[in-house]
Amino acid sequence: MTDKKANRLSWWMGGILMSLLLLLTISIFGADRPIGASTYVPYIGGIIFNLDPEHYTYLKSINNSGAWEGVMLLGVLFGGFITSVFITKTFRFSLVPSGWKQYKNNSILSRLLWSFFAGFIMIIGARLAGGCTSGHFLSGMSQLAMSAMVFGGVVMISLIITGKIFYNTKGT
Amino acid sequence: MNEIVFRTEGEGFLSRVYQMIQSVIDQGHGSVALVFLIGVIFGGIVQYTRVDKFEKIAGFAMLKDTIVPKMLFLAVGLSSIGIYFMVDAGVANLHIKPIILPGLIIGGLLFGVAMAILGKCPGTGPVSMAEGRIDVMIGAIGGLLGGLVFTVFYDDIFKPLQGESLGKTIFPNFFEGNEQLSVLIFGASLVLIAILIPKLEMEDAYEDRDDLR
């Protein structure tokens, strides 16, 4: 084929489709709740580590939303897998993203350790704020919630400062 | 107080997965099939637009790729007008999260650092795992442990750290009498911002190479 880029949707088509999905989900004909994607992590953690939900106030408080997002997560994994195999044909096992090699280093160990660390603080951060990119940014800002705008602003600043400090973006 | 308490009754992993599905059936936020389908479509859109890639999210942190903010601002702009239209028509309800300033600020700072390093967020991470990214699976293990720490120390550390709720204020509250206009202006501005952000793309040496397709 002559097109050298991997098969993919444009940003505006993606934005429109994501908006339609959110509108369907939040409507009373859909799920009558917004899309969220970070409560499932402590919920699934509770299942995997076999914690007693009766003992933990936090697990009790997320019992419903965690379960909802847990089922949605199964769909996300399935949808992502099917799309990567059959539509974009981008499925492959990999350890270090090419952008990391270009702007950070070639070390597998470095990428895996940093990934572990980032995953750890990401979930603590998301649960402290009560939401993530999906729950606050996508769903919260779409409802014009001030909480989402505070979160979105702080994340943007923190994200860009980290990007500047953490990667070698000069001279490449 | 913070010891890890395991479930003692004879209920294994499978029965708790069953409880998860039963909880979705009981809570009335869509059938299990619908919730699963929402996930499939979400995963499909994220994968098909490739916004789960490190080069897109960490690329944005480095200001070398703007596909994520363009798509996100467009989705939010369109959805905001759509949601308030549907609320007016009585076919949707608002679900606003409280303003807990210390939680939002400390949480947002941690989240931004993590997003720049991992190049994923909790919604795009599972898509990356599904396309075979082993580094993200390691990130997910970190995330599960983060969730465990949050759960175990919630009462003593994290809940006090979140602070008091300042209420569930929404942007139109500041424009009494012109609520609908404020929503329209907000939505239209975000759509405009999405269009006006210059389109930058970080090349992925693997996926954008000539012989892939």
Chains A & B: contacts with CB separation below 8 Å: 562
Count of domains for chain B? 2
Q: Do B102 and B85 fall within a single domain?
A: yes
Residue B38 tokens read as 């929402």
ipTM over 0.85: yes
pLDDT category at A115 given cuts 50, 70, 90 is very high
- Is residue B25 situated within a structural domain? yes
- B40 with B64, same domain: the answer is no
Q: Say if residue B117 is in the same domain as residue B179.
A: yes
B36 found inside a domain: yes
| pLDDT tens, position by position, B52-105 | 999 999 999 999 999 999 999 999 999 999 999 999 999 999 999 999 999 999
- Report whether B11 contacts A47 (CB < 8 A): no
- Residues of chain B neighbouring A12 (CB-CB closer than 8 A): 70-71, 74, 194
Does one domain contain both B140 and B197? yes
Whether residue B38 sits in one domain with residue B62: no
pLDDT at A53: 86
> Is the same domain home to B71 and B33?
no
Domain boundaries, position B129: 54-208
B68 and B27, same structural domain? no
**Within a domain: residue B1?**
no
Chain segment A31-57, per-residue pLDDT in tens = 999 999 999 999 999 999 989 888 999
- A109 and chain B in contact, CB less than 8 A: no
Chain B residues with beta carbon closer than 8 angstroms to that of A70: 20
| Yes or no, beta carbons of B58 and A121 under 8 Å apart | no
Match 């991470």 to its residue by tokens: B125
**Mutation site for A-interface testing, chosen from B1, B13, B49, B159 by largest number of A Cβ within 10 Å:** B49
Question: Are residues B203 and B138 both part of a single domain?
Answer: yes
Pair B41, B100 in one domain: no
Examine the domain organization and report whether B85 and B128 are in the same domain. Answer: yes
Whether B213 is covered by a domain: the verdict is: no
Best to test chain A binding among B22, B66, B67, B79 (most A CBs inside 10 Å): B79
Q: Kindly state whether residue B79 falls inside one of the protein's structural domains.
A: yes
Decide: A15 and B70 in contact? Cβ < 8 Å.
yes
CB-based contact, A105 to chain B, within 8 Å: no
**B29 lies in the same domain as B113:** no
- The sign of the torsion formed by the CA atoms of B13, B19, B24, B27 equals negative
The DSSP bridge partners found for residue B92 are A27
The answer to the question of residue B188 being in a domain is yes
Which residues in chain A touch residue B96, judged by CB atoms under 8 angstroms apart? 140, 143, 145, 147
DSSP state letter for B66: -
Same domain, B81 and B149: yes
DSSP state at residue A9: -
**Domain-located, residue B19:** yes
Give pLDDT, residue B206.
81
Cut 0.90: pTM above it: yes
